[in-house]
Amino acid sequence: ATFAEVENTFGLRPDATSFTLLLEVCAYSRAASHAIRVFERMRESGVQPTMRALLFYLDCLIRSRNINLATEALLSEEFAHVYSNTYYRVIRMLVHQGRHEKARELVDLMERRGWNVEYIRRFITTEEEGRFKNETTSYDGGENEE
């Protein structure tokens, strides 16, 4: 049933608990497009998302590899207080995609929000150095020596 059907039939309006439950289902089924619609509907309804709702929404985006929306969400004030591990998951994905500047932007934001980010900065630097080393290593073209 849709939200409108439930509201018209039973006179019930979705609340933070019902939206959170739907976002949890979306996260476990990796249904990012549904999670996006549920989250938008939550905002349109004026329902304040709980921390759990925010985390399920982000988890869904991360699991479905929708890194751009996950990054955008973390950059907003609405998601300012989610767990540092959630930031780290997104930062790690950005780094593995070679998007170091966007990863640093998130790290800088975390630092401004009061998080200790030294270990994340070390991770980015280590990954960059490893990638640079791999890119500059010569390759023999796969020819066999006889």
What per-residue confidence (pLDDT) applies to 116?
93
The pLDDT value given to residue 132:
55
* pLDDT < 50 stretches in the chain: 135-146
| 94: phi then psi, degrees, rounded to nearest 5 | -60, -45
Residue 21 has a pLDDT of: 92
Please tell me the predicted confidence (pLDDT) of residue 42: 94
Per-residue confidence (pLDDT) for residue 133, from 0 to 100:
56
pLDDT digits (tens, 9 = 90+) for 4-15: 776 778 877 889
Query: 3-state SS string over the chain?
Result: CCHHHHHHHHCCCCCHHHHHHHHHHHHHCCCHHHHHHHHHHHHHCCCCCCHHHHHHHHHHHHHCCCHHHHHHHHHCHHHCCCCHHHHHHHHHHHHHCCCHHHHHHHHHHHHHCCCCCHHHHHHHHHHHHHHHHHHHCCCCCCCCCC
For the chain, first and last CA: distance in Å? 70
Rounded to two decimals, what is the model's pTM?
Answer: 0.79
Question: Which residue in the block uniquely carries the two structure tokens 């800088």?
Answer: 108
Question: What local confidence, expressed as pLDDT, does residue 136 receive?
Answer: 45
